[in-house]
A and B are shown apart, each in its own frame.
Chain A
Amino acid sequence: MANTQTILTTLKRIVGESAVLSDRNELKVYECDGFPIAKAMPLAVVFPTQTKQVAECVKWLANHQIEIVPRGSGTGLAGGCVAFEQGVLISTSCMTNIESVDVSNRVACVQAGVRNLTLTESIADTGLRFSPDPSSQRAATIGGNFATNAGGINTLKYGVTTNHVLGIELVLANGEILTIRPGGVCDGIGPDVAALIGSSEGTLGIITKLWCKLVPDPKHFRTVYAVFDSTRSACKTVADVIASGILPTSMEMMDGQMIRVVEDAFHFGFDTTAQSLLLIEIDGIDAILDEQMDQIAHIAKLNQATDIQKCSDPKRRAELWSARKRAFGAIGRISHSYCTQDACVPRSLLPDVVETVNRIGEKFQLKITNVFHAGDGNIHPILLFDESKPDDVQKVMQASEEILQYCISIGGTLTGEHGVGVEKLNLMPKMFNQPTLEMFLSLKKTFDPNQCINDGKLIPSDKIKVELYQPVATNVPGGAL
């Protein structure tokens, strides 16, 4: 293995002096992503601007057995881009060109570091948009979205990121550049390798370019806000609306605790005695939306909603959605740290999941508040703690595990949209049988025979062991990995 000076000199030669960070003070920002429990300082972070630079870096680093971790904006929530202590982070955050927008084929070609919202904003005059809208969309890169198959509020009607990526350019572990289904074609011959790369969390290669499907940007909306005295009533409303034939754009829920947190922070006028709040939005043809809105409100009333507001005013709509999108930010007022879980269950089982989450919170004496993409069955329990207290970290990890194990046991998945990263590695054997895990590992080794790209993430590795039950793991050799 090459020494540090050689590594840095080579990387600077490839990407330029100013595109390599190696000062420990500057590297602090890169010691974790949105999952703060796993931390490690990399040897360096590089910021290529072109695919060939990525390829050259990968080839050289792989040849010298230096671990590589791809990183977008670092907004991931599962530790998918936590570094190796003698490894190098390759960040695509400076690969920000929108290379082409083709309205007739409804496709945009973008470098992987283009921010999610930036693409939609740049094509606003076409009437089209890039649909995936995770809460982090201002900061998150499209490459990162694809690598974790990010969701968001719109996924109920419009799908997840993999449904909106037609083709990709990828740098493989040997430095080879592969282009798969470029140019806006919507099909191919044989299995779709691009689909396999989606949600692979940077373990099969580094995504450098994407051909993104563009869809019509809806012009007309209606929003229904309803509050309930029970989560069960709110969940039944969700099921009944979908059964009626209406497919809303989004159906978001907050529990009583979260309502109070958000109201205390932002004063939207929410009823702080309510046990759950439901925000339902529909879009489409203006002439039919009022009738659909009335139908939704009627269903909410049948399910004993205590307050229902119907909204066609853009300003009030923006306020209501601001409340939802700022929910996580509001947590910062009441807790040092928080850990967001991301279970997804069959929609009909949401009420049981909420009750179980609350029981687990009581068991571990943890405050847990919940936000849901209710239409998808995707629940985000938010566990509040202080990361400087080892006991808190232990309790959060154990409670998280119990929540996710329960969700798996009732037919759900351990992650709906955040990914496995390092956070949920030990639960993978609960979700998948041994032959399936072996198949995953063999696929990993097919793409990356020397296991040098983001090994130890997403699937248990036979090379790397992960230890998470230590806060601020930089004092452990190898960090958390």
Chain B
Amino acid sequence: MCHTSASNHMANIVTANSIEQLVSFVQKAKQSGIPIVDYGLAHAGLGFAPPTKHTKLIQQGTVLEHAKQDFTVCAQAGITFKELTERLEAENQFCPIDADVDITLGEIINHHVYGPLRVKFGAMRELLLGLHYLNSQAEDIHVGGRTVKNSAGYDVTRFMVASLGQLGLIHQATLRTYALPAAICQCVVLLDNPAAFDAKLTDLLLSDAAPAGIQMVYQNGTWQLEFIYMDNPFAIEVQIKSLKEQLKHFEANWSTQTQIDSITQYFQQQTQARAWQRKAAALVKVIVPPSQTGTLAKLAQKWNPSLMIQTLPTHGCVMLGGNLNNETAIELDQKILAFLPQCQGMRMWTKRPENSSINPFGPKQSEWPLLNQIKKTMDPENLFNPGRFLPVE
């Protein structure tokens, strides 16, 4: 089914759910010189604005093959994470991606979406086995495959992750799946000092308390650590017992323990817990070495007490956001940029206030000039999300 409408005089919106339609759109884009733009749903505000004239693409999709015995699934990029989860759950499997349920697989790959479950299951670099994408000649490029190990050719599969949709039009992906856990449990502890947890995290991971996922949230004036356990009930019992013993080492107090009934419920809850990020007027993702996560979160709360804060302590990911105007966003950004050099971190503004002057990406990394050259190599027609991150030259 193909739907075309003009939402304004500058951008057509097209919907596609087949490779044939996508090939046709890319060919038309190449002929007309009007690029294809897909910034996604949760990441619509990330990057520089698209060119005035563009075609906005919405992909739809479904599962193409679920190899149950091999624990792999091949799906079109337009499938939503909700549908993917439901299809797998019906076969007692799941994909531990930790993404918002309404975004597509393509958006997850293009933006390297991950969450607390990265602790146990990794992220796209671990889960993605193969990709198909269209290049700017509308040719189908197939990299990786459906095996869990693959050293053939360049690892463009993993390279396309976090490519912000600028190197090609991903239309199909094969992922690794896991057996559904017998039980899921969320434990919340309250922290006085988030930086105290940083110093003890390795010890926790070395203990029986090592969870499937960890995240930290600042809300209503308190720091909360959420531990996710996914295992059989007896194992979870052992893990929680160990967690309670560990608490005294990082100045935390036990709060709640909740059973989660299903993996679908887990992902829905996580989507809701991240809902503030969609509503925020401004949102910045800061990447630091893991041991700096709590330190940065604590500082950020002091810089601007109105900030919402959500972190992944094992992977140094700090999300800061809220109702910032341009002035307060710039102020925050300057403080972040002053903090980063000591730890070789970086930040990107997933959403900036209207008419913001903030450069969304930085500090500049040494490989960016090379990435520009790679962009020219892989998308010589500059058709795919031009100028979003890698500049139009």
Contact = CB atoms under 8 A, between A and B. Distances in A.
A470 B205 CA distance: 53
B366 A348 contact: no
B374 A159 contact: no
B250 to A, nearest CB: 13
A104 B180 CA distance: 31
A443 B377 contact: yes
Interface stretch (A34-42, A54-62, A430-438): A430-438
B202 A346 contact: no
Given A188-B365, A190-B162, A196 B154 contact: yes
B208 A285 contact: yes
Contacts of B151: 148-149, 199, 413, 415-420
Contacts of B290: 104-106, 184, 186
A435 B135 contact: yes
A417 B148 CA distance: 10
Interface in A66-115: 102-107
Contacts of A191: 159-163, 167, 371, 374
Contacts of A104: 198-199, 201-202, 290-291
B224 interface: no
Contacts of B210: 216
A415 B205 CA distance: 33
A198 B157 CA distance: 11
B50 interface: no
A412 B145 CA distance: 7
Contact of A291 (B141, B150, B198, B234): B234
Contact of B154 (A127, A199, A378): A199
Interface in A408-444: 411-420, 424, 428, 431-433, 435-436, 439-440, 442-444
A252 interface: no
Contacts of A420: 151-153
A160 interface: yes
A244 interface: yes
- Which of B125, B152, B179, B373 has the most A CB atoms < 10 Å from its CB? B152
A163 B167 contact: no
B117 interface: no
Interface string B353-393: 00000000100011110110110011000000000011000
A358 B226 CA distance: 53
Contacts of A198: 155, 158
Interface string B245-279: 00000000000000000000000000000000000
Interface stretch (B34-42, B81-89, B324-332, B340-348): B340-348
Interface stretch (A174-182, A316-324, A325-333, A394-402): A174-182
B289 A439 contact: no
Interface string B132-157: 00010101111101111111111110
Nearest to A289: B235
A446 interface: yes
A199 B155 contact: yes
B19 to A, nearest CB: 14
Nearest to B180: A245
A190 B370 CA distance: 12
A459 interface: yes
Contact of A186 (B155, B205, B315, B343): B315
Contact of B69 (A189, A243, A415, A459): A243
Interface in A367-397: 373, 376-378
B126 interface: yes
A170 B154 CA distance: 16
B283 interface: no
A193 B367 CA distance: 7
B178 interface: yes
B154 A435 contact: no
A183 B239 CA distance: 31
B232 interface: yes
Given A178-B366, A185-B316, A190-B163, A155 B149 contact: yes
A181 B315 CA distance: 13
Contacts of B348: 189
Given A163-B125, A191-B160, A435-B140, A183 B343 contact: yes
B345 A443 contact: no
Given A443-B154, A458-B153, A190 B389 contact: yes
B72 interface: yes
Contacts of B389: 189-190
Nearest to A285: B208
A413 B370 contact: no
B67 A346 contact: yes
A185 B346 contact: yes
Contact of A433 (B142, B148, B289): B142
Contacts of A162: 125, 155, 158
Contacts of B71: 242, 347
Contacts of B390: 190
- Which of B162, B348, B389 has the most A CB atoms < 10 Å from its CB? B162
Contacts of A32: none
Nearest to A419: B151
A414 B365 contact: no
24 contacts: A102-B289, A105-B316, A156-B148, A179-B366, A185-B346, A189-B365, A191-B161, A191-B167, A193-B159, A195-B158, A204-B154, A243-B179, A291-B234, A344-B149, A345-B147, A373-B149, A420-B152, A432-B142, A433-B142, A435-B137, A439-B156, A440-B156, A443-B154, A443-B377
- Shortest 10 CB-CB distances between A and B: which pairs? A435-B139, A183-B344, A195-B158, A416-B149, A104-B291, A348-B69, A245-B179, A186-B315, A344-B147, A196-B159
Interface of A: 102-107, 127-128, 148-149, 151, 155-156, 159-160, 162-163, 178-193, 195-196, 198-200, 204, 216, 239, 242-245, 247, 284-285, 287-288, 291, 344-348, 373, 376-378, 411-420, 424, 428, 431-433, 435-436, 439-440, 442-447, 458-459
Given A189-B361, A459-B154, 18 more contacts: A106-B205, A162-B158, A180-B367, A186-B287, A186-B315, A189-B365, A243-B179, A285-B238, A287-B238, A345-B147, A347-B71, A376-B148, A412-B147, A417-B149, A417-B151, A440-B153, A443-B154, A446-B373
